[in-house]
Structure 1
């Protein structure tokens, strides 16, 4: 016997209600602001026809404070799985047109159930945040729901990649789930993220603060460092997420999506021309990166925060890598509090997901100054040391020019576990720069010289050639090889291929105690 047509009609009507949730008027208003709704965002993200929804018919069970009269299709959050570039990904998307996308007990359960499925299946989780926050009518159940989501975020951390997209309001406790993920992407307009709003700040401290000063994408990207990438709009946010995932494995026991090709070991003469003639001229490390990576395709992470350190993902002759590079064009490439935090987190993320790390070094030291010392540069700088030393993935280091003092170590020297260390002939490896060393070591001689400035310059050159030369480090087996810049891409590509099978076993323990 055929199924009763009424049952099919009822099912279709229910699904139609879910697809039209929020109504045409609300959707039209969103489109006028340049916003998409929850389903449209996921449709852009997943390959056509691959989305499988979880919990379309789930509903709140609150019957107080007027909620008994409210119909909230799928309880205001669309959950499911689909394919992105041929790989399965789990995603949930708050629907602001349904009860403001507010989180209640069932809403939270749907997200947690999806995260459990992703955990067991070994697939990334993407969350699109566009919510009014906790559903007040459900009281402590809403707070409990947030706690359950946070717990799942931590449970999945280091197991599967987690990406949060801030595409609307994300206030109060709601901001902590994105903060617990691996990467945060925020749309430039129509989105904000904060713990306390302007009114609360004014009431508590008397300060007058506008949302754009602390809650906007621009503020988070450049000042607080809370987010990793800024998207122009919803469509761009979904594209950025897909591009980011293209460099990451599906889980922590899988290899990254390398695209191994036949090695090209030819020289790149342009690299020789990138190096400035004078060591006092800043090196444009972005030009080095663009020549080093395949087709100049480099996804920079946190480009507007702590710009003295550049981090990001790329492929070098098909091998997915995380790049950590000093940027002499900004603060002379020194390491400071913010850049140390930025670098350490990125290094640990690469280590979690089995991504080899390539470090490009041109660092004159840690940033001096009272604010840095009082701000805890010792503790923050130690994070870089800890992150590199703890990382068991392949680590390849290139010393381009300056590598002084503790910063030389903090940029992954052989002593911090680098598998291979290359240096250009322009490299200077020393406890401190030549000028500083001469002032300390030859103070008396300079005072007695007829021309102190000329004599200081002469001694500085002698110091560089005798004590800071890359050949001295190579003679002490601290450097794998001294290479000309033109040979950089082939040398690093070979090093990466030779270390992909690396296995590094550490003492059994719960985890190390990184200086947070």
Structure 2
């Protein structure tokens, strides 16, 4: 009896030597090796190892499917509970069928009950055609579980091989997606089925494509071991569920540290732009910034830092890229990130330097106002602590949408060189005095004087502070300690909103 159990388990866990050798020859890991690499040593507990398909159509009954092509279970990352499933490409190409899906759904149910993150390691040929509608039901059940789990437990997906057809909805329904550079693909329709026959997997399904063009992929990694190591570190930034906070770590970084470099990079000429990555790293604990969607909508930076050991979500207008103008894709990127932070009790800090909207025909055709409205609504709806630092320009309704005091920021700082106004002073003056200019009855000297007057009366951060729209003007070098103090004050924030199911924007 014991021998039978041992033999059966050995067959399931060992797999086919020929298939495994082929995987290793491609410098890839097996489904089980990926889990071992991801989790703490000897912490993995498998669930459903003896599950098999029950379909007899198309001679499927004569095919052995160990664990039905997906390894499921739980373990720990740095001692914290996580649930994981890893598709096994050596079993029917990792294709999803009825029992394969049931195993994944069972893991989701447990993750929801226990309040723990769920990690998906995807490597599959797609749907199991022999199971047809049973497989479709399986997809539907997984999508339902993902939807119910959204905002309750973090969902992280890693694409480690092929992810095609309906399976591509899994990473899109997840919170964050990792993907390796080589030997991976992510596509709804294969290239040979598209209206353009010139496309390849490299051009429409690669990690590079999805990290730059679609924004589906958050992190692109060199290889599988690199990806799994980054995934481990990333999990440590996140809370386990929506009732908990992210783990707080002791920091050896001085809470009162000042950065003279920030004083130096604060430009007199704001049109030169500010590299926000430098600003973020200067205020973060140990200069650590984990950027999400780094290659997508580069005029908007999103990611996580720690301040006094606490995880904080950061959004910033990257004004060295396209002048930091708000684009449709930048707004979409910011909206999703805000939603995640608000769902999981992560404070939000914004660094604002926005000169307006991206003025192109393409943006108007997309309907940029719809995407800006979603960004604004996300900021306004978020009830976590929200701190804004105006480091450069804050012009027009683009500024209003960037976590301004007007839409509910708890605390707003401004650097002394910043500008808060409807638009830049020169443009404002030329609009106000358009009649005089058309008749050439006003001199260039007068225009310059009126521009300087407008900057002082209408665009100065001190004017905004005098109206209460800015809480304090701060020295750039002191940004770190002032933001930390504000977040400490806001730690016990509680804010109720009108009762409703969700916004309709």
> Separation in 1 of the partners of 2:17 and 2:350?
52
Q: 2:279 aligns with which of 267, 285, 288?
A: 288
Decide whether the 8 Å contact of 1:449 with 1:455 is kept in 2. no
Q: Is the 8 A contact 2:163 2:185 kept in 1?
A: yes
Change (3 A) 1:257 1:453: farther
Aligned to 2:409: 418
Counterpart-to-counterpart distance in 2, 1:498 and 1:281:
34
Matches within 5 A, 1:298-447: 298-447=289-438
Matched, 1:276 2:291: no
1:162-200 alpha-carbon deviations (Å, 9 max, x no partner):
011111111111111221111111111111011111121
**Aligned 8 A contact 2:251 2:285 in 1:** no
Q: Kindly indicate whether residue 53 of structure 2 is the aligned counterpart of residue 63 of structure 1.
A: no
Distance in 2, Cα, partners of 1:304 & 1:261: 29
Alignment match of 1:179 (pick from 156, 167, 172): 172
How many residue pairs get matched? 504
**Structure-1-length-normalised TM-score:** 0.95
Q: What's the offset of the Cα at 1:447?
A: 4.9
Instruction: Tell me the distance in 2 between the aligned counterparts of 1:449 and 1:472.
Output: 31
Match of 2:135 in 1: 142
**Aligned partner of 1:247 among 232, 237, 251:** 237
Q: For the residues of structure 2 that align with 1:277 and 1:92, how far apart are their CA atoms?
A: 53
CA contact (8 A) 1:93 1:127 kept: yes
**Which residue of structure 2 lines up, in the alignment, with residue 513 of structure 1?**
504
Which residue does the alignment assign to 1:3?
Answer: none
Q: CA deviation at 1:231?
A: 1.5
Question: CA distance change for structure 1 residues 35 and 456 in 2, over 3 Å: closer, same or farther?
Answer: farther
| 1:265 CA displacement | 2.3
- In the alignment, structure 1 residue 259 sits paired with structure 2 residue 259: no
Is 2:352–2:388's contact at 8 Å kept on the other side of the alignment? Answer: yes
Q: CA deviation at 1:226?
A: 1.4
Alpha-carbon distance between aligned partners in 2 of 1:255 and 1:506, rounded to the nearest angstrom: 21
Q: Does residue 91 in structure 1 map to residue 81 in structure 2?
A: no
What is the CA distance between 1:268 and its match in structure 2?
Answer: 2.4
> Over residues 21-43 of structure 1, what are the superposed CA-to-partner deviations in whole Å (9 max), with x where a residue is unaligned?
1x222222212212111001000
Residues of 2 paired with 1:75 and 1:397: CA distance? 50
User: Displacement, 1:65?
Assistant: 0.9
Cα-Cα RMSD: 1.5
Q: How many Å separate the matches in 2 of 1:174 and 1:279?
A: 46
* SS at structure 2 position matched to 1:53: strand
Distance 1:255 1:241 in 2: 19
The TM-score with structure 2 as length reference comes to 0.97
Indicate whether 1:112 and 2:112 are aligned.
no
- Mapped contact 1:319–1:496 kept (Cα < 8 A): no
Corresponding position: 1:487 with 2:481: no
Q: Is 2:4 aligned against 1:13?
A: no
Give the SS at the match of 2:57. Answer: coil
State the distance in 1 between where 2:458 and 2:437 align: 19
Q: CA separation in 2, counterparts of 1:284 and 1:159?
A: 34
What is the deviation of 1:232? 1.2
2:413–2:470 contact (8 Å) kept in structure 1: yes
Alignment of 1:138-217 (within 5 A): 138-201=131-194, 205-217=195-207
Distance 1:264 1:198 in 2: 52
Tell me the SS of whatever aligns to 1:66. helix
Instruction: Give 1:350 shift.
Output: 0.4
Structure 2 regions of 5+ residues with no counterpart?
none
User: For the Cα contact (< 8 Å) 2:31–2:71, is it kept in 1?
Assistant: yes
**How big is the shift at 1:14?**
1.2
Q: Deviations over 1:299-322 (max 9, x none)?
A: 000000100000000101212100
The answer on whether the counterparts of 2:191 and 2:204 sit within 8 Å (CA) in structure 1 is: no
Could you list the per-position Cα deviations for residues 454-506 of structure 1 after superposition, in whole angstroms to 9, with x for gaps in the alignment? 44333222211111011111111111100110111110010011111100111
* SS of structure 2 residue aligned to 1:359: strand
Q: What residue ranges of structure 1 are gaps of 5+ in the alignment?
A: 1-6
Name 1:228's counterpart in structure 2.
218
- Between the aligned partners of 2:257 and 2:167, the Cα distance in structure 1 is 52
Contact persistence 2:305–2:311 (CA under 8 A)? yes
The answer to whether the 8 Å contact 1:363/1:407 transfers is yes
For 2:256 and 2:215, how far apart are their aligned partners in 1?
A: 38
